[in-house]
A and B are shown apart, each in its own frame.
Chain A
Amino acid sequence: MVDNNHCMSRRQFVVGACATAFAYTTLGQLTGCAASNDNEGTTHDLLTIVYNDAPNSFDPANKWDGWYTSCRGLTETLVAFDEQMNLIPCLSTEWTNEDSLTWRFTIRQGVTFHTGRALTPEAVKASLERSITKSSRAASKLNAASIDVEGNDIVITTTKPVATLSGEIAEPVFSIVDVDHVDSDPSRSGTGPYYGENVDSTENFTLSAFADYWDGAPGVATLNCQTVTDANARAMGLRSGDANIAASLLANDLTALQHDNNYSILTSESVRQVFMICNFANEFLADKAVRQALSYATDRETLCNNLLGGNIYPNGLPFPSYLSYAQAVEDDAQTYDLDKANQLLTDAGYIDSDGDGYREKNGRKISLTLAYYGTRPELPVLAPALQDAYKQIGVEIVPQFYENVDNVYYNGSFDLCLYNTTTIGNGDPSYYLKMYFLSTGSENAGKFSNAELDQIITDMQQNFDQSARFDAAQQAECIILDECPDIFFGTARMNAVCGKGVSGYEVCPVEYYGVTSHMA
Chain B
Amino acid sequence: MISASHEKAYTSSCQVTWLDRLRTLYQNLIATPITFKISLIAVLAIVAIGIIGPFIVPFDPYATDYAASLAAPNAVHWFGCDAMGRDVFSRVICGTRISVFLSLAAVAIPLVIGAIVGAVAAYAGGWIDEVLMRIADIFQAFPEIILGVAIVGVLGPGLANALFAVVAVMWIRYARLMRSLVLRLLHADFIETARMSGASHRQILVHHMLPHLVPQLLVMGTLDIGFVMLTLASFSFLGLGIQAPTAEWGSMLNDGRLYFASSPYLMVFPGCAIFITVLVFNVFGNCLSDRLERRKGISW
Give A residues with C-beta under 8 Å from B. 230-232, 235-236, 239, 250, 252-253, 255-256, 302-303, 306-307, 377, 380-381, 383-385, 387-388, 398-399, 401
B199 at the interface (CB under 8 A from A): no
B103 at the interface (CB under 8 A from A): no
B245 at the interface (CB under 8 A from A): yes
Count chain B residues whose beta carbon lies closer than 8 angstroms to a beta carbon of A.
21
Instruction: Determine if A232 and B239 form an interchain contact, defined as CB atoms under 8 angstroms apart.
Output: no
Q: Which of B12-49 contact A (CB under 8 A)?
A: none
Instruction: Determine if A235 and B261 form an interchain contact, defined as CB atoms under 8 angstroms apart.
Output: yes
Instruction: Determine if B245 and A384 form an interchain contact, defined as CB atoms under 8 angstroms apart.
Output: yes
B100 at the interface (CB under 8 A from A): no
**B contact residues around A232 at 8 Å (CB):** 257-261
**A contact residues around B257 at 8 Å (CB):** 230, 232
Contact of A236 among B245, B255, B261 (CB under 8 A): B261
B268 at the interface (CB under 8 A from A): no
Known contacts A306-B66, A307-B66; decide if A256 and B262 are in contact (CB<8 Å): yes
Instruction: Determine if B259 and A385 form an interchain contact, defined as CB atoms under 8 angstroms apart.
Output: no
Q: Which of B67, B239, B257, B261 is the most central at the interface, judged by chain A CB atoms within 10 Å of its CB?
A: B261
Interface on chain A toward B: helix, strand, loop, or mixed SS? Answer: helix
**B contact residues around A380 at 8 Å (CB):** 258
B155 at the interface (CB under 8 A from A): no
In the complex, number of A-B residue pairs with CB atoms less than 8 Å apart: 56
Once the chains are docked, how many angstroms separate the CA of A5 from the CA of B255?
59
Once the chains are docked, how many angstroms separate the CA of A425 from the CA of B260?
34
Kindly report which residue of chain B lies nearest to residue A254, judged by CB atoms.
B262
Once the chains are docked, how many angstroms separate the CA of A302 from the CA of B239?
26
**A contact residues around B216 at 8 Å (CB):** none
**B contact residues around A381 at 8 Å (CB):** 83, 258
Known contacts A307-B83, A384-B244, A388-B245; decide if A252 and B239 are in contact (CB<8 Å): no
Once the chains are docked, how many angstroms separate the CA of A232 from the CA of B244?
20
Instruction: Determine if B261 and A307 form an interchain contact, defined as CB atoms under 8 angstroms apart.
Output: no
**A contact residues around B239 at 8 Å (CB):** 401
Known contacts A231-B258, A232-B260, A239-B261; decide if A384 and B84 are in contact (CB<8 Å): yes
Once the chains are docked, how many angstroms separate the CA of A230 from the CA of B244?
19
**24 pairs, A vs B, C-beta closer than 8 Å:** A230-B257, A231-B258, A232-B259, A232-B261, A236-B261, A239-B261, A252-B70, A253-B261, A253-B262, A256-B261, A256-B262, A303-B66, A306-B69, A307-B66, A380-B258, A381-B83, A384-B84, A384-B255, A387-B245, A388-B62, A388-B245, A398-B243, A399-B243, A399-B244
Instruction: Determine if A250 and B66 form an interchain contact, defined as CB atoms under 8 angstroms apart.
Output: no
**B contact residues around A255 at 8 Å (CB):** 262
Report the minimal beta-carbon distance from B300 to chain A, rounded to whole angstroms.
Answer: 34
Once the chains are docked, how many angstroms separate the CA of A231 from the CA of B260?
11
Report the minimal beta-carbon distance from B109 to chain A, rounded to whole angstroms.
Answer: 26
Once the chains are docked, how many angstroms separate the CA of A385 from the CA of B69?
12
The 3 closest A-B pairs by CB, nearest first: A306-B66, A252-B262, A384-B244
**A contact residues around B261 at 8 Å (CB):** 232, 235-236, 239, 252-253, 256
**B contact residues around A235 at 8 Å (CB):** 261
